[in-house]
Amino acid sequence: MNQEELLARLNGIEWNDFECKRARNGVPEDAYMTVSAFANSSGGWLVFGVSERDGQLEITGIESPDKVQNDFLAVLRGGKKLNVLIAVEPHRYEVEGKHVFAFHVPEATRSDKPVYLKGDPRQSYIRRGAGDEKCTQSELERFLRDAAQERYDGAALPDIPVEHCFDLDTVRWYQAQFHRRNQEHAEISDPVEFLLNWNFIIEQGNSMLPTRAGVLLFGEGRYVRQLLPRPVLDYQRIDVPFDQWSAEHRWHDRYVFEENIFRSWQGLVSRYMRIAEHPFSIDPATLRRNDDPPDYVAFREAAINLLIHQDYGDHGRKASIRMFSDRTIFWNPGDAFATEAELLEPTEKEVRNPSIVKAFRRIGLSDQAGTGIRAIFHNWHELGRVPPLLNNDKGRKEFELVLINKALINDAMERFRRDIGVSLLPEQADALALALEPSKEGRISLTDIRGLGINTTRQAKQIAEFLVRQQLLEPVGDTLFELKAPLKHRFLERAEPSTGEVTGEVTGEVTGEVSEKVSEEVQKLLSVMTGEMKRAEIQAALGLKHEDHFRDAYLSPALASDVIEMTVPDKPRSSKQRYRLTTRGRALQGKEQS
């Protein structure tokens, strides 16, 4: 983090990877809780010499910088306060004559988690939002399970009889797929011998024991449920947009899969065929097709990712697929061990369930190692849609992937590209369009650009640097870029009616006619506006639960339409930010109320 990046972060708010401490004369004790939380989550920046005042971060400086730095680093490297040595990356700045430190705390390896204080695993912390929280017993068990040298899915099960626990129809189906795809291997027709050969049954002494992966993949239903006292997958189809649904509403189709993993996959494909965007037939034997359209490939890889990477030792949370009319949400108990950037690399990844993963790959039901997430992003981009959303929460140990049915480049964006007078290649135009997405708030990273189907970080950087040279983006750091403010305002002024444009003459005082061509969502927002309101107050007044949808469908279009404005426009993320009606907004609100 350079000084410019630090100052940019200080203009925002503390969040899951950024924490500030006053540390004026010494290291505060709660700094080590933050170190534990960052190490157990995705890493983060711990900044000394910054205080919070009236909701704003303010540089107050450190009086004894050498002592503070030496004391802090000595504790982290001493091995007494924390159970593992933490190699932080220190940075020292002088801002307006005041000393500030920024320490990057890296994420700990799988085998080193949890990182805890005072020799007590119960003193383990994780990062939630902008705070450090002590791990619950269940969260601690998840860390310990993932840290074990013997993988959970490879363990032998002495209490389950090998001669009764397998569903032979599933085993024979798998054998047929395996031999069709791997003709170089000698065919083994006996189901038990086949499972023994591929380590789904193992020999211990004079006994043959099924492995946990063997039962989960091929087991009879009652043995699967004995081993896993919660569903393999909860599938729900909800035929309304995401924002219009609440937990009290009934789904339109639901199936709770409690059979083995391969039977669950077969049942899921059957349900997907009923609602696929591009109708198709499928080989009932292989569950594959020759003309896979992008939407099916994206769904297939996301669903298989859900089945093969979840934490089957977590009996309190179940995997789910919720298919709304405007998006599909895949949620898994169990985080990915890789970072989001690493998930987009075509390299082998460390996985939670290696036996289960290999079983799928041997019959071609998952792309080659390391490419599943890349395939999802590539095929979704091929459909011209905004990139999938990933939330790999390493603290809570959960993974969410969202496929949103929304075009990346709409008519307004096409007109805007023509207006700015810059010739852009398709990948450059896609990156610019992504930066203009309301959810990005004008900022994109190299990883975001990689999500547009770009193969390498080097190529993503070339795209970003071209947009910088064209005065469309400006760098905030080595990997983060921000939309030029005049450009953003210019785009919002040209927003099309479908995104909330208001047309008509309005200058100072209202003159002429003010068109009522605003979206229904913007009309609803206008109806609840009174005085200066916080974002959360407007959202609550509208009765909306999901912040992302509120921003995308209500707040951003209202700002783009010039019917509301920020009270602190130069600091969009300020904790003091409020929203109020403009002259145009008051005119429209008056029409609604008259």
CA atoms within 13 A of residue 135's CA, in its CB half-sphere: 32
Same domain, 425 and 391: no
* Domain CATH code at residue 255: 3.30.565.60
The strand pair at 125-128 and 131-134 is best described as: antiparallel
Q: Is residue 344 located within the same domain as residue 265?
A: yes
Q: Is 582 helix (H, G, I), strand (E, B) or coil?
A: coil
Give the tens place of pLDDT for each residue, 52-86: 877 778 899 999 999 999 999 999 998 889 999 99
> What is the DSSP-derived secondary structure letter of residue 452?
T
Does residue 531 form part of some domain?
A: yes
Q: Let me know if residue 153 belongs to a domain.
A: no
What is the per-residue pLDDT for 551? 82
> Both 280 and 315 in a single domain?
yes
Residues 395, 434, single domain; the answer is no
129 and 176 share one domain: no
What CATH number did the domain enclosing 58 receive? Answer: 3.30.950.30
Report residue 93 as tokens.
Answer: 């700045």
Among 183, 211, 227, where does a domain finish? 227
Residues 168 and 132 in one domain: no
Q: What is the pLDDT of residue 580?
A: 92
H or E stretch at 56 = strand 56-59
- The verdict on 370 and 331 lying in the same domain is yes
Nearest to 84 by CA among 158, 1, 170, 143: 143
Given this model, what pLDDT does residue 514 score?
39
Burial label, 29 (beta-carbon count in 10 A; 0-12, 13-18, 19+): exposed
Is there a single domain that holds both residue 35 and residue 78? yes
Same domain as 487, residue 434: yes
Q: What is the CATH number of the domain that holds 577?
A: 1.10.10.10
For residue 220, tell me if it sits in a domain: yes
- Interatomic CA distance for residues 477 and 3, integer angstroms: 9
What per-residue confidence (pLDDT) applies to 502? 32
The pLDDT value recorded for residue 500 is: 36
Which of 354, 383, 404 delimits the end of a domain? Answer: 404
pLDDT of residue 317: 96
Residue at which a domain ends, from 389, 404, 419: 404
Residue 296 in any domain: the answer is: yes
Structural domain that includes position 541: 502-593
Residue 546 lies in a domain: yes
Helix (H) or strand (E) holding 45: strand 44-48
Task: Write out the H or E segment, with its range, that includes residue 372.
Answer: helix 372-382
- The verdict on 171 and 106 lying in the same domain is no
Number of domains in the chain: 5
Question: Same domain, yes or no, for 481 and 348?
Answer: no
Tell me if 482 is assigned to some domain: yes
Whether 152 is covered by a domain: the verdict is no
* Distances, alpha carbon 312 to alpha carbons 82, 112, 152, 154, 321, in Å: 29, 21, 8, 12, 16
**Residues 536/550, Cβ–Cβ less than 8 Å:** no
Q: What is the pLDDT of residue 510?
A: 32
Establish if 179 belongs to a structural domain: yes
Q: Are residues 564 and 510 part of one domain?
A: yes
Give the pTM. 0.77
Segments of the chain with pLDDT less than 50: 14, 496-515
Tokens of 237: 């189809």
Predicted local confidence at residue 279, as pLDDT: 60
Task: Round to the nearest angstrom and report the end-to-end CA distance of the chain.
Answer: 54
